[in-house]
Structures are given as structure tokens and as C-alpha cells.
A and B are shown apart, each in its own frame.
Chain A
Amino acid sequence: MDISKSDHVKQRKEKQSILQQFKRNVRMHKHSYILMAPYFSLFFLFTVLPVIISIVVSFTYFNMLELPRWVGWQNYARLFLEDDVFLIALKNTFLFAAITGPLSYIACFVFAWIINEFSPKIRAFLTLIFFAPSISGNIFFIWLIIFSGDSYGYANGFLMKLGIIYEPIQWLQDPQYVLAIVMFVQLWLSLGTAFLAFIAGLQNIDVTLYEAGAIDGVKNRWQDLWYITLPSMRPQLMFGAVIQITMSFSVADVSMAIAGFPSVQYAAHTVVTHLIDYGSIRFEMGYASAIATILFLMMMTTNLITQRLLRKVGE
């Protein structure tokens, strides 16, 4: 089959130039392009083009009123050399990426793995319970009530009743606690798309693989997990990693809702909240674009490196 096909292609290549063939190919697939046109024109307008604009604008001074003025690397120099708040934001964002990122990823997998052990009805119920926080709108504000600074807050009420503390702790006004609480809420919200992908991936693993494994000397569940389960669902693991990494780098709504904006001593300030500060409050679009460009580079690098690493799972 293959040989005759490639022969055929070779013959055709001799007859017509590559350009003509390309044109013919495009014409033949006209309907494909027409079907894709609406989606991709919007996709380019709202996703691809903005990335390019953002990179270009990051080298200018632009306030939406005057025309942009080219300033070279000045915005970047200011970010890293003069803007102390940005450095705090950068530190916090890396903390989120290093702590909530991997933790949420592992949580997605571990819970999916355990849930998969139950019968279908219980499984459906548990999936609903664990997935619900991530889709229930911005309901995370109820953590505000739980961590409320007066004695009506549940956390304070509970700890005072147990006699661990004697006066209410100002959870959300104390830089000591704020970042940890935002991380905690972020983790609570993070069993989303990746979690569902893992559940689906686990259900689709070929049963005969486990039987073959048992014959080949797999002794316990941990070996089952490492040699059979993880490699079988590598595609889902890679997909889940992209979702969780992107999520952990873009913490903003939760931080702003829980810790306030700006938070106490910028304790829960992230790169995205810094971006929102300059982009939609101060309207320093050039500077904000520089922040966006750095965010873009951070997310892409981390994602591409992780993809590389995950390809090695179970090898």
C-alpha cells in the first residue's frame, strides 16, 4: 500500500511543480477551510494576534490616549531593577507554581485513582463531590466567612472552642497567613478538567495489561501503578499537566477575592494581579504588556519542559 502510494506521489511530483500541487490541494480542501474560518478568525483575533501585539507593545510607552512611544528594553529594566512589588509578585507566583501546581496535579491523580476503585454509582457520586468546587461559580468567597477575622469566623470559632487560641486571628489581614490561605483555597478549587481526564484515562486502561503484568512478575499495586497504569495514561497525564501548570501560574481571582486587592503588604500579590493593576487601573499598557510577556514566557517554558519530562514516565 505505502510503496505504491509514494510511487504515485513521486510521479505526480514530476509532472507538476510543488506550488501547483499545493494550490490544487488547497482547492480540493476548500470546504475544510470554510468550516474552520469562523473559529480560526476569532482565534487569531483574540488569542494569537494579542500575543504578538503584547510583545510589541511591551517595548513602548503607551497609555491609550497618546500614540505609543518606542522605549526599547526600558519596561523590562524597570520591572526587574526598580519595581520591588513585581519581585514580590514574581516570588509568590513561583511559590504557587512550585507548591499548588505539583500538589494539585498529584491530588488530581491520587483522587482519580482512588475513586476508580469504587463501584460505578459511588464513583459518580465521588466525582461530583470532588469536581463540584471547580465549577460552582465563584463560590470560593465562602472561605471568607470561614476565615473571617472576628470570632464569628468558623476557623476562629472552632479554634477558640478547642482552647487552642484565646483571641481571634486576623487570618486575611496578617501577611503571615494570607498566602497560605490563598494556596489552600486554590487547591480546593483545582480538581477540574485534569481530574476528569484522569478518571476517564484510568477507566480506559486495557484490562489485559494487568493480567499480562501479573504473569510478568508485578507483585503489588505500586508496581502496577508505575509499570502499567502511569505509562498507559501518559497522554492524559500530559494533558492534565498543561491544565494544572497554566492554572497555577494564573492565580488572580482567588487572591483578589480572599486576600483583597492589593493584599496586605502584597503578601498574596501575583504576576497576574500586578498585570491587572497596571493594565486596568493605571492604564500603563506598555508596562503591563511587559508583565504579560514575562508571564507568557514563564508559562510556556514550564509547560514545554514538563512535557519533555512526562514523555519519560515509565520508560
Chain B
Amino acid sequence: MSIAKKGVSKRKKRLNRSWFGTLMLFSFIGLFGAFMALPLIYTINNAFKPLDEIFLFPPRFFVRNPTFTNFADLANLMANSWVPFTRYMFNTVFITAVGTAGHIIFSAAAAYPLAKHKFPGSNVLFGIVVLSLMFSPHVTAIPNYMTMSVLGWVDSYWAVIVPSFAFPLGLYLMKQFMEQIPDSILEASRIDGASEYRIFWKIVMPIVKPAWLTLMILLFQQLWGTDGGNFIYSEELKTMHYALGQIIQGGIARAGAAAAVALMLMSVPIIVFLFSQASIIQTMSSSGMKD
């Protein structure tokens, strides 16, 4: 609420824009907005197109006679497959849910001391985390494969889930956000005799709820679309995204079912973001890097 109010008051006080400027602004954002949204709208439309519309020439963008046959086709196709579709769904949901929950708890626990205590090594540790934002996980992929094979985690969920607990971006955002918590609150509970663990769990965790949602979206980005990478070989452990790839490989005969899966895959993260947007923006306002 406070953010929204600030925005309104700011616009009133700022320099005025000409009507031409306003027009340009609207057309610019409209044009690029359409570009961003078209593929998404297309996916939604395609999922409800009957086959004859999917293969219409010249192709038409919007659906004329919406139908649910694609979903029915998908259900049929999947009922007959060796691994039931619900299993792929379960795998994706399980990996995303466990990975996200673990990541939020682990990184919050590590972020709290880094944000609120000065102790030997705290700056070095956080410095390493910031540096690790500067390269992508591809760099560590090969040693991680070796580690997984030593641990015996190849071909299990854990090879995907456990490394996701320790993604650096989540800890970084969590720590930056926690720095805003007033010390007086923590001090008051310390005087009341609460242990550090209790303060973390009962006071800090509830305050940083907006950051939970942010980490959730970030992990969604990483895990929801995973196909198990090099780690998962067993068919019954594979994810929905992998199943989608297989259906698309089926070519023309499977185009309808593929459109239905695509819609299912796409809508979940977007809906999550829809409900958590305000919290995420709130977390991001403390995301900056200090000199």
C-alpha cells in the first residue's frame, strides 16, 4: 500500500508530459506488450483449438470453436502410456515443492546471522556468495556430476533437489531484505531471554514472508521447467517438462495434446506470480548491491 501511494504522489509532483509524449509511451508499451504476450496468448488459444484449426492454412491466431478435446486426447494418450501422466506431474510438483521449501528455510537460516550479526568471517562468506552470482551453474556442472555419482544420487530426485537448496541468489536477496528488520525488535526478544534460534524462527521468519514468495518464484524458474538434466534416467522419475518434449516429438498427431500440456506447464508459475507480485517487488527493492 505504501509503495502504491508513493508512486501516485511522485507522478503528480514530477514534470509534466506532453500529450504527444503520452501517446508515444502508450503505443511503445502497447507494441512491446503485444510482442511479449503474443506467444502466451497463442499457447492459451492453441490448447482449446480443435485439430482442424491447429492445422489451418494460412494459420489463424485465435480460436474459433473452443473445445476441450485436446485435454481429453492428452488424458487418453497418457492413460495408455507406460508411465501414467500423473506420475510425471507428481515428479515435477515434488521436485519444485521440496526444493523450494528447503531453499527458503536453509537460506533464511544462513541469511539471518549474515544480516544481523557481525562475526569473524561474515563479510568473507557473503562476499563469496556475491561472487558466485557472477557465474552460471554450467561452470560447476561437471564436478557436480562427479559428486553426485560419488554420493550415489544419480538417477534420484535428490540430485536435482539438494543443490537447489543452496542457490546463491536466494541467500543474497534474503540477506539484503533482512537487513531492514529493525534491531530493536530483535533486541527486545533477546532481553526477554529468547535464544537466537527462537528469534530466527518466531520473529525473523514471519517478518520476511515477502522474501519467501520471491525465493519461491526464483526456484520455480529453476525447477518447474527442469527435465531432470543429466541426472534422472528412470522413466518413472522424469518430469512433466520431459513428458512434454516426448509428446512434441510425436509430431503432427500429438499437436493437440502438446498444446494442452504446454498450457498446464505455463499457467502454474504465472498464477503464482500473479498472487505474489506485490511481495516480490517489496523484496526486490532491497536487492541492490552496495559499494
Q: How far, in whole Å, are A300 and B133 apart by their CA atoms in the complex?
A: 9
Q: How far, in whole Å, are A252 and B141 apart by their CA atoms in the complex?
A: 13
Kindly list chain A residues whose C-beta atoms are within 8 Å of the C-beta of B169: 193
Q: Which 4 pairs of residues, A with B, have the shortest CB-CB distance?
A: A235-B288, A32-B113, A39-B110, A50-B143
Closest to A211 in B: B13
Cβ of B277 under 8 Å from chain A: yes
Query: Of A50, A111, A130, which contacts B139 at CB under 8 A?
Result: A50
Kindly list chain A residues whose C-beta atoms are within 8 Å of the C-beta of B162: 42, 46
Closest CB of chain B to A167's CB: distance in Å?
14
Q: Is the Cβ of B143 less than 8 Å from the Cβ of A124?
A: no
What is the predominant secondary structure among interface residues of chain A facing chain B?
helix
Cβ of B248 under 8 Å from chain A: yes
Kindly list chain B residues whose C-beta atoms are within 8 Å of the C-beta of A199: 281, 284
Q: Is the Cβ of B109 less than 8 Å from the Cβ of A36?
A: yes
Query: Of B8, B9, B196, B220, which contacts A35 at CB under 8 A?
Result: B196
Interface residues on B, range: 35 or more
Seen from chain B, the residues whose Cβ lies within 8 Å of a Cβ on chain A are: 3-4, 6-11, 13-15, 17, 25, 28-29, 32-33, 35-37, 39-40, 42-43, 55, 57-59, 61, 106-107, 109-110, 112-114, 117, 119-120, 122, 125, 128-129, 131-136, 138-147, 149, 162-163, 165-166, 168-169, 171, 195-197, 200, 217-218, 220-221, 224-225, 227, 230, 241, 248, 262, 265-266, 268-270, 273-274, 277-278, 280-285, 287-291
Cβ of A149 under 8 Å from chain B: no
User: A266-292: which residues lie under 8 A (CB-CB) from chain B?
Assistant: 272, 275-276, 279-280, 285, 288-289, 292
* Pairs A–B under 8 Å by Cβ, sample size 28: A25-B119, A28-B119, A29-B113, A29-B117, A32-B122, A35-B109, A42-B106, A43-B129, A47-B166, A47-B168, A50-B144, A51-B140, A57-B142, A129-B36, A129-B37, A132-B273, A133-B39, A139-B40, A139-B265, A154-B59, A200-B282, A207-B13, A242-B134, A246-B135, A285-B146, A292-B139, A293-B139, A304-B134
Q: Is the Cβ of A201 less than 8 Å from the Cβ of B4?
A: no
Q: How far, in whole Å, are A136 and B57 apart by their CA atoms in the complex?
A: 28
Which of A5-13, A70-78, A115-123, A174-182 is near enough to bind chain B? A115-123
Closest to A121 in B: B4
Q: Is the Cβ of B163 less than 8 Å from the Cβ of A42?
A: yes
Kindly list chain B residues whose C-beta atoms are within 8 Å of the C-beta of A38: 106, 109-110, 165
